[in-house]
Every structure is written in C-alpha cells, then in structure tokens.
Amino acid sequence: MEDLVFKRKIGWKVKSRDAVEKFSRGYLDFIGKCKTERQTVKFSEEILRRNGFLDVMDYDGSLPAKVYMKYQGKALIAMRLSDKLTSGMNLVAAHIDSPRIDLKPHPIVEDEGMALAKTHYYGGIKKYQWFNIPLSIVGVIVKEDGSSIEVNIGENEGDPVFVISDLLPHLDRKDAKVSEKFEAEKMNLVLGSIPVDEREKEAVKLNVLKILNEMYGVKEEDLVSADLTLVPSFQPREAGLDRSFVAAYGQDDRVCAYTALMALVDAKGGKNMGVIHFDREEIGSEGNTGAKSRFYMMFFREILKRQGFDDVEYYLDRALQKTCVISADVNAAVNPSYKDVHDLANAAKAGYGIVLTKYTGARGKAGASEARAELVARVRAVLNKKGVLWQVGTLGKVDVGGGGTVAKFLAEKGAEVIDLGPGLIGMHSPYELVSKVDLFESYEAYKALLEEM
C-alpha cells in the first residue's frame, strides 16, 4: 500500500556527500566569477573550447561534431551533433541575466559636495534590499573608435566598493508602504567626495572623471556607450553550520546555466543535444539576445545548411517538431518563515531534488506554457530510471504567486517544453540560497534528459 503514495526523498540521505561537495566547488568558482551575462558567456565559451567545441562557422557538416555560437557577447548556444538535425534535438535552455541595478546613460552628477551615479533597476527586485550593501561596478565601455574596455571595480581584493545609501532611522519617522518609501530615483550610488581643485562647481565630479580616465582612458561621453552594472561585491559562500547551502548573487538563473553546461559536456549517448544561454529573460525575453529573438534559430539554420539541406525553413520545422526542450529555470523553495504564501502540497522544499514545474504563468495560467501530460510522464520516467531526485512545484498560491520563463517562446516554435530547475530561497535578492544537493540533482537531471529524452 505504501507504494501508492508519492513521497519526496531527502537528498542528503540518499546521495553521495562527496559527489555533491565536489560539484559544488566547481559551481562556487563559476558563480563567483560570473555576475553578468558577458562574464557568463566568456566563462562558458572557455569550457566549451577546452572540451572540443568549435565555432559553428568552422563546421563542415560532418558527424559527430561539437559546435557553438555566441551572440553579441551576451547569449550562447552549443550542441553536440550525432545525426542530421532533422532527427530532432534534446535541449536545455536557461537564462543568464539576473535582477540588478544598471547605471543610466548619463550617470555621474554632483550634489552637496558628493559625486553620485544615477541608476535604473533591471528586473523584479525589492528595492530596499539594494541599499547599504557593498556593490561593484562591472561591465564594458565602448569608445567612439569601437574599442571595448572591460570595467571591474569592487570584485578584487583591495578594490573600493560602492554603496547606495539609505536614510538613517532617526530621520525616517514617516510611515509609508515599502513600495513608496524606497524610491527608484533615490537609488543613487556614492562615487566620491574629494574635489579635484579649488573650483566651486562640480570639482568632485571632475575628480571622479579624472580617476576613470586614469584607470580606463575614458571621458564622460564614453559612458553613453557603456553597459555598466552594479552587482553585490560579496562573494559566494557556503551557508549554514552544516554548509548545506550555497549563498550567492545571480543564482536565478545562472545556477541552471552552469548545471546545464556541465551536463552537456559530460553527457553520453547518441542523440543531438544542446544548451542555450538566453539573455533578457528578467525583462520579458526582449531584444536580440532574448528568447524572442532569432539568434538560436539562425544557429539551427546554419547547421542545416552545412549538413546539405537546401530548404532550411521546411527542415527546421521538421527538426523542431521532434525536439524536446527543458526550460531550465528556478522555482521558489519554501522559506519556513513565509510558508503562508505557498500551497505546501505543491511547493518545492530545499534538499529534495530538482523541481518539475508543469506550468507557470499567473491569474488563470496566463502567459504559461503548460507541458502536456505525455511529456511529464516521459520526463519522470527518465528521472526515475536514472535515480534523480525530483519534486513538483508551483510558484506560490493561486492568485498570490506566478511568473514566467523562456518556455512559452520555445513552445511557439513547435518543440515540446517543460520547466525544471532547483528551488531557491530568497529568489531575486542580492544573496540567494540553493541547497547543494538540489544543485547536484539539477546537473544529474539535465544530463539524464539530454541523454534519454
């Protein structure tokens, strides 16, 4: 009779602690170095190159093959080809952007003897979480001649850090909603307070520009053509007395990007398999590097052309009809202090394995890509066969939670799609938690599904 009941298993009781810890060490290195999309693409490309992957433009159509393409420095797709693309594909798609604070195009101002940087937040954040924490400035500045300069201030030992400073409680007596108290236009970054000379106007701002010029050879106008981001400067750490969690910024969704990439590198078997790293998911998958864009379809067309197919549009449709995509995105693990927002029978728990999310969306499943029952059955059959721990999850109670992933954009192309990823505690905060065993099970799940679907 006990076999009739579906029971979740605690990962720490059934998984090898050594295997979990070994995988976590590699992940800690990755998540500490990859706080932006550009850093993630660069890191991923290095791993692919070390494992024999070639740029798709160097592919001669022969089989087997390992090929990849990066796009605009902010998105990437990689595949291991064992057959013609028309036989279909097993894909794992994750996004590599995370909620953050960006500098405005004309950022530096001076006010009351201080140089400040004006900001604009990116993605869904609780603004108050970004006040009074150490921040780094990371990104690129592109000069008028087209040369690109990497900026990284705050990540290395000895670097200064930056702070968006809040109002002290002694002067903050006014009662207000959190959404009203923490105003986006007041999220100004403190850059400095030393004037460059005795002039009265903007001498502090000028000193900041002088320092930037000495460091990077740039002037104020160059900041207009820059992608500069504020990220938490603290590094990933093991968390808890038992060290069972990884605490880090940007785990939504780079935890899935890393586990998927390593699964692709390590997978065995004879199927066409691949991984996509999308940008822009946190703002609706917009732009030419998001899941609404055409860059990954261009990649597939290039492969078909090089494999000898003339009518690539027709054969691409055929390939996508035989394709299964794992939309690799995180779910919300139950925080015991706030469990009232969850339907606990359908909520993820930390340490119980990867989370199968049949549908996302909100308000009557609006915006959802719901996996067919047949696909869910195939997925759980593979996971059970391979001994991967899994659980089901929804993103909060009906009419309380909800969210979206890249799933629906891939489903629109004709592929079968389902969401799977680890649960996070504190998702979209500057310091999220993931269970190490859930991290490892995500890798195991993606590897199994690439090989077996």
The residue extents of the domains of the chain are 2-98+249-452, 100-232
pLDDT for the residue numbered 83: 96
**Residue 174 pLDDT more than 90?**
no
**Residue 198 pLDDT more than 80?**
no
Distance CA 429, CA 131 (A): 12
pLDDT cut 70: percent of the chain above it: 100
**Residue 346 pLDDT more than 80?**
yes
| Structure confidence at residue 400 as a pLDDT band (50, 70, 90) | confident
**At 349, is the secondary structure helix, strand, or coil?**
coil
Distance CA 420, CA 390 (A): 9
pLDDT for the residue numbered 238: 98
pLDDT for the residue numbered 423: 97
**Residue 14 pLDDT more than 90?**
yes
Range of lowest pLDDT (102-106, 174-178, 218-222, 398-402): 174-178
| Structure confidence at residue 175 as a pLDDT band (50, 70, 90) | confident
354-372 pLDDT, tens digit per residue, is 999 999 988 889 888 899 9
- Rounded to 5°, angle at Cα 49 from 43 and 54: 125
**More confident position, 283 or 201:** 283
DSSP code of residue 186: G
| Structure confidence at residue 42 as a pLDDT band (50, 70, 90) | very high
**Residue 270 pLDDT more than 90?**
no
Please choose, from the candidates 84, 301, 96, 100, the residue with its C-alpha nearest in 3D space to the C-alpha of residue 189.
Answer: 100
Please choose, from the candidates 401, 339, 331, the residue with its C-alpha nearest in 3D space to the C-alpha of residue 366.
Answer: 401
Domains 2-98+249-452 and 100-232 share a fold: no
Domain 2-98+249-452 sits in CATH at 3.40.630.10
Token pair in block for residue 295: 């860059």
Distance CA 40, CA 351 (A): 26
Predicted model pTM:
0.96
Distance CA 23, CA 436 (A): 9
Helix axes 251-266, 17-33, angle to 10 degrees: 120
**At 422, is the secondary structure helix, strand, or coil?**
coil
Distance CA 89, CA 324 (A): 6
| Structure confidence at residue 168 as a pLDDT band (50, 70, 90) | confident
Token pair in block for residue 152: 């990284």
66-79 pLDDT, tens digit per residue, is 999 999 999 999 99
Mean pLDDT for 262-277 is 95
**Residue 403 pLDDT more than 80?**
yes
Query: For the chain, what percentages of helix, strand and coil (3-state, to nearest 5) are there?
Result: 35, 25, 40
Token pair in block for residue 358: 């049949």
Asked whether the beta carbons of 32 and 20 are under 8 A apart, the reply is no
**At 196, is the secondary structure helix, strand, or coil?**
coil
Mean pLDDT for 211-217 is 97
**Residue 232 pLDDT more than 80?**
yes
Please choose, from the candidates 64, 123, 115, the residue with its C-alpha nearest in 3D space to the C-alpha of residue 99.
Answer: 123
Distance CA 387, CA 393 (A): 19
**Residue whose pair of structure tokens reads 């938690």 in the numeric block:** 433
pLDDT for the residue numbered 339: 93
431-445 pLDDT, tens digit per residue, is 999 999 999 999 999
Asked whether the beta carbons of 149 and 217 are under 8 A apart, the reply is yes
Mean pLDDT for 52-75 is 97
pLDDT for the residue numbered 424: 98
- pLDDT averaged over every residue in the chain: 95
| 100-232: in CATH 2.30.250.10 | yes
pLDDT for the residue numbered 159: 97
| Structure confidence at residue 402 as a pLDDT band (50, 70, 90) | confident
- Can you give the length of the chain in residues? 453
Give the torsion sign (CA, 389, 36, 240, 346): negative
Asked whether the beta carbons of 195 and 202 are under 8 A apart, the reply is no
